[in-house]
Amino acid sequence: MNTQKVAITIPEDLIKEIDLISKTKGVSRSRYIASALGAKVADEKRELLKQAYDRVFSDDDVQKEQLETAKWFESTGSEGGQEW
């Protein structure tokens, strides 16, 4: 994995907490911060994706199309689904 150094300003009390946790976990401060940021970014990406889905499926036309499609599949009478 390629890495890049960055300079950020973090409150001293937060650094003390980070150092305590990273020492307890047996990882470097840098690795702990990178891991924590990676988890936060993954959470944010999931939330943005959820918001995008919510926007699409809150559209009345999309809801109507989805309902019509579901009713059509239901009317085919096949419990196992469709064979393509």
18, 32 in Cβ contact below 8 A? yes
- Rounded Cα–Cα distance for residues 71 and 67 (Å): 6
% of the chain residues with pLDDT over 90: 61
* pLDDT tens profile 1-26: 799 999 999 999 999 999 999 999 99
Q: Which long-range contacts (CB under 8 A, 24 or more apart) does 68-76 make?
A: none
pTM: 0.66
